[in-house]
């Protein structure tokens, strides 16, 4: 993955579902739905860095598709 071509979001996981995460973006306090195949690797309360292509829907909640999600040690 080429992270220089991606946007990033630091967030806290609020909800884990089979194909997506619901997170709270640290910079905007906005709840965002993150589509990912790796949702099962995360738990509520995890701090994560999400790499995505920069596109976000105008829906409520906004939605993105993750290129990669990594745990971060602290929020």
**pLDDT tier, 2 (very low <50, low <70, confident <90, very high otherwise):** low
Neighbours of 11 (CB within 10 A): 26
pLDDT, residue 74, reads 78
For residue 40, give the 3-state DSSP assignment: helix
- The rounded distance, in Å, linking the Cα atoms of 43 and 60 is 22
- The rounded distance, in Å, linking the Cα atoms of 47 and 57 is 22
Q: Which pLDDT tens digit goes with each residue over 17-68? A: 999 999 999 999 999 999 999 999 999 999 999 999 999 999 999 999 999 9
**Count of domains for the chain:** 1
**CATH code at position 32:** 2.40.50.140
- Alpha-carbon dihedral of residues 71, 4, 6, 18, nearest 10 degrees? -30
| Over residues 7-14, mean pLDDT | 97
């Amino acid at each position: 993955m080429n992270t220089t071509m991606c946007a990033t979001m630091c967030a806290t996981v609020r909800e884990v579902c089979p194909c997506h995460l619901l997170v709270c973006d640290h910079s905007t306090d906005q709840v965002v739905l993150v589509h990912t195949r790796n949702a099962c690797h995360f738990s509520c309360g995890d701090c994560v860095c999400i790499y995505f292509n920069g596109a976000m829907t105008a829906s409520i909640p906004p939605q993105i598709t993750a290129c990669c999600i990594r745990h971060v040690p602290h929020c």
